[in-house]
Amino acid sequence: MTNLLPLIPRSDFHIHTDLSPDADRDCTLANLAKVAAGLGLREIGLTDHVEGNPKPAADQRWQCTDLAALTRRCQQIRDQPWPLRLLSGWEVDYYDGGGYSFVPDQHLPLLDYVLLAHHAVGAVISESPARIAQYLLRITHAMAVDPYAHIIAHPFYFPPPPERHGLILACLSDHDLSDVFAAMRETGKAAEITPYQFSADLRSVEQMRRVYSLARQAGVKFALDSDAHRLWNMGEGLRCLHVLAELGFTGADFVDFAGLQQLART
């Protein structure tokens, strides 16, 4: 049996608090810190959706509209003692053609890191798998070379219906994917792994295995995250460990916050 213990990261950089509209109200800082400490995590990053800049109408449902509350939350994280390390990170949306859901000059000083995501797929959701694949390739490459991101959230993830996911990814060649991950490596970005990218909801696990194998071969480092919106979701990134062990991953493939900072300096 493969010994998974050497793989286990003690960081989770993608956790939503009660300020995210799609998170439970009991996801307070105190509750999140208590649960994370009980799970043996050493540091967690709070990454609420942020709206601090004009955005496409298709992206409306993802945003937290109370920027003042998010700003106060960042200060609260820094000012109070916690049973483990709490980090301030927002889930910032990258918009097709450039632009973000935050204002870098104004908001970067509040944050320990930026988790960069893309959710506004309404313009292509009815397109063919091949067209969607090229869209994802272009957007993910743009995020890979972005100057502000530290982690690229759930790369090449596409929303439901999940049975299309394998068809979309199959349209991307190994060369296409390797080029994107080489850009992430060269610009010091970590690629996120989340449990639903290997879920049993008719998503193509084999295609995701291919994606992350190519990312590892390209020398990318990874953040193993839960994308928790409920207290009981925290630590669910560990559900991926068996498949990652089969792909040859070791603890050296994952980063903690010090590792993220090191990547950003490369």
| CATH architecture, domain defined by 11-264 | Alpha-Beta Barrel (3.20)
Token duo for residue 201: 């909801």
Contacting residues for 52 by C-beta, under 8 A, at least 6 apart: 67, 101, 102, 103, 106, 107
| Contact by Cβ (8 Å): 223, 255 | yes
| Maximal C-alpha separation, the chain | 51
Q: Measure the CA–CA gap between 214 and 218, rounded to whole angstroms.
A: 6
Q: What is the pLDDT averaged over residues 19-26?
A: 90
3-state secondary structure 130-194: HHHHHHHHHHHHHHHCCCCCCEECCCCCCCCCHHHHHHHHHCCCHHHHHHHHHHHHHHCCEEEEC
Q: Measure the CA–CA gap between 205 and 240, rounded to whole angstroms.
A: 11
State the burial class of residue 83 (Cβ atoms within 10 Å of its Cβ: 0-12, 13-18, 19+). exposed
Q: Is the pLDDT of residue 62 over 70?
A: no
Token duo for residue 144: 């890979």
**Tens of pLDDT along 101-154?**
888 999 999 999 999 999 888 889 899 999 999 999 999 999 999 999 999 999
Token duo for residue 161: 């219906």
pLDDT value of residue 230: 95
pLDDT value of residue 53: 57
Q: Measure the CA–CA gap between 190 and 248, rounded to whole angstroms.
A: 18
**Whether the model pTM is above 0.85:** yes
Percent of the chain with pLDDT over 90: 68
Contacting residues for 97 by C-beta, under 8 A, at least 6 apart: none
Q: Measure the CA–CA gap between 63 and 152, rounded to whole angstroms.
A: 18
**Tens of pLDDT along 205-225?**
889 999 999 999 999 999 999
Closest C-alpha to 125, from 77, 78, 165: 165
Closest C-alpha to 45, from 73, 21, 22, 67: 73
**Tens of pLDDT along 158-189?**
877 778 888 999 999 999 999 999 999 999 99
Token duo for residue 76: 């609260």
